[in-house]
Amino acid sequence: MINIVKENQATEQDDQLKITDNNVYISAAEILRDYSLAVQSRHASIVGRREVLSGKAKFGIFGDGKEIAQLAMAKAFKNGDFRAGYYRDQTFMLAIGGVTIQQLFAQLYAHADETADPHSAGRQMNAHFATRSLNPDGSWKDLTQMRNSAPDLSPTAGQMPKLVGLGYASRLYRELAGLQSFTNFSQQGNEVAFGTIGNASCAEGHFWEAINAIGVLKVPVVMSIWDDGFGISVSNEHQITKENISELLKGFQREPGMQSGYDIYTVKGWDYPALVETYLRATQIARNEHIPAIIHVVEMTQPQGHSTSGSHERYKSDQRLAWEEEYDNIRKLREWIIAQRIAKPGELDQIERNAKKQIEHIREKAWKAYTLPIYREREEVANIIQVMESQAVQPNPLAAIRRTLLQRNTPSRKEIATAIRDTLIETRNENLPDRQQLVQWKTKFEEENRVRYGRFLYSESPQSALNVKEVTAVYNNKAPQLRGFEILNRAFDAIFARYPNVVAFGEDLGRLGGVNQGMAGLQAKYGELRISDTGIREATILGQAIGLALRGIRPIAEIQYLDYLLYAIQTMSDDLATLHWRSYGGQKAPVIIRTRGHRLEGIWHAGSPMSSIINLARGMYVLVPRNMVQAAGFYNTLLQSDEPGIIVEVLNGYRLREPLPANLSEFTIPLGVPETLRSGEDVTIVTYGASVQIAAEAADLLAKVGIDVELIDVRS
């Protein structure tokens, strides 16, 4: 039950939210702060849409209609908690102090500056958030003292896989004794992972796979479903069976007194007191007991439609539009505040006027901060071109280029680059004194843009994988010849002994030790939480790893066969590979994906979709060792780095014997460095993985007929 502490009843301590066994106490002052923030967020959405339609931004998508539920969720969100959400969550981020109004506009304008947009430095569309977990040198901050948001991504339901790992990390930090010293990541596993998703995206497979995995793992997740009845123009009738997602989820509801399953709540998106109470109750249980919760927030609205791409009047009936106006969540909060005599209509009117005035001022400030550097760059280029006009035999074409550059009201760096290109082409046959100055300016401009738009695809920290020093394998005179899986088994044993924060999981990995026995016996030695079985769910195996890595754990996520990676490739490509880049170096997820393939026979369990992986996973290291000793070296390298990679073990190699290095747990293999296995003068063969053995046999045959073959293993 919600109890309002009025001003004449309050003490200094009462201006904070309180919760007892049966009651929630909230001050009138806090309620009015919530109303003010909701109005600010709404007006930011309205002004943001206007900025796009006036040509100042390319695209906009906003959180209008979702404000009150997000204010309630923010009250339950504490330091150390994590959010994995989507592009409707601006009010929540404002409420937890994770973003400012000016930063919202900076991201809308794609201001390519970390100080202006600390979430993505202009690389993501607006309302895509990522708190900065890393110090400038790439080391971790104390995440327990922060309110954290994992890096957002646009694909619908794309946030769901990593939510599994964000919640699972709390369980590991609570239950694994070896993690108790990692206090900058967790305080006894008391952190909750908050997920948000729209009703239409609940039709995606990622949603169902993640919901099932979270329930199986019994982890502290509070999952919010913002339900406004539509997915762009398509209503719930065509999205969800029974048109009601919480009806479908009833099978996940836990039985009274049981630990398995979810607590499921349904609450109206305009009912402020019910929302506050629901979020506080659900989160308290999740935090204390690690019981996940689903909160289905219904009767939400979307006053401006889906995005700036169109108007919702095209597909919503007059009756629906009238209902949305009547049940607008801010309007309902206003009515409730007046009914509870917390404030008078005139006071709320003044809050609204102040909010609108403030938003306009902030918008103008953000626009000037974004455009002034570009104006200066444009002026510098225009001045150089103007000087070149006085030197050119034909000045008119240069004057036309300069006029075109200066005519745009909203300049962009693309127009500056175009003007430079056109000027250099026009003067290619002239030896103008200032042409070289323009060339030098262009070189500097391109380097600055490389930093603005290309930096942090890979780590630049001292722990970059490319900085790991090579340690060559050392062999004793009587090195034992072991089968490949036995070498890997010893390597993994050493890894788990050395690194208490390394965990591994996958299909048949725990009790069985893997289909090829690479981890046989290790679960019995190190426990079920360090070497774990999972269900058949490749997308969330990878997502589980991403979420863990974002919280300081080093996961080895096994995808049983390379062919199965296709189930996870969207998450691998859109989330993991781009994560460091799209957060502008603000977050990292050093995941190791372990898989196997390259038998090169059959169509399902032995394939080699390497060209797809290489092109879709830019931002990750793709490592294809030719044998298991090489594989062990790559694992050692990646574990000393802070970057993600995928290691594709050769399926043919598990029973082939290899000499065991004396320094199996210490030797490393440098990334990006091919190895020449055989010198030759006539033919060079460049290959990798399973093909190395085939090429070596071919080289032996060719040598018999006098053809000298050089053999190079690319390997990474």
The secondary structure of residue 567, as a DSSP letter, is G
pLDDT tens column, 435-491 = 999 999 999 999 999 999 999 999 999 999 999 999 999 999 999 999 999 999 999
- 432-469: b (≥16 Cβ within 10 Å) or e: bebbeebeebbeebeeeeeebeebbebbebebebeebe
CA angle at 186 for the pair 180 and 187, rounded to the nearest 5°: 75
Instruction: Give the number of other Cβ atoms within 10 Å of residue 333's Cβ.
Output: 24
Rg (C-alpha) for the chain, rounded Å, is 29
Query: pLDDT of 346-384, one tens digit each?
Result: 999 999 999 999 999 999 999 999 999 999 999 999 999
Segments in 54-159 forming alpha helices (H): 67-76, 90-95, 101-108
Average pLDDT, integer, range 233-256: 95
Helix (H) or strand (E) holding 605: none
pTM of the predicted protein model? 0.96
pLDDT at 607 over 70: no
Assess whether pLDDT exceeds 90 at residue 20.
no
Report the distance separating Cα 186 and Cα 179, nearest Å: 9
| Measured distance CA(329)–CA(343) in Å, rounded | 17
pLDDT at 605 over 80: no
Catalytic residue list contains 605: yes
How many Cβ atoms from other residues are within 10 Å of residue 286's Cβ?
A: 25
Please give the pLDDT value at position 11.
Answer: 52
Catalytic residue among 43, 111, 128, 605: 605
| Sign of the torsion formed by the C-alpha atoms of 388, 393, 397 and 399 | positive
Amino acid identity of residue 529, one-letter, is L
Confidence at residue 22, expressed as pLDDT on a 0 to 100 scale: 73
Containing 647, the helix (H) or strand (E) segment is strand 645-650
- 636-683: pLDDT as tens digits: 999 999 999 999 999 989 999 999 999 999 999 999 999 999 999 999
Q: Is the pLDDT of residue 283 over 90?
A: yes
Using the CB atoms, write b or e for 50-82: b if 16+ within 10 Å. ebbeeebbeebbbbbbbbbbbbbbbbbbeebbb
Q: Which of 668, 666, 655 is closest to 482 using CA atoms?
A: 655
pLDDT at 170 over 60: yes
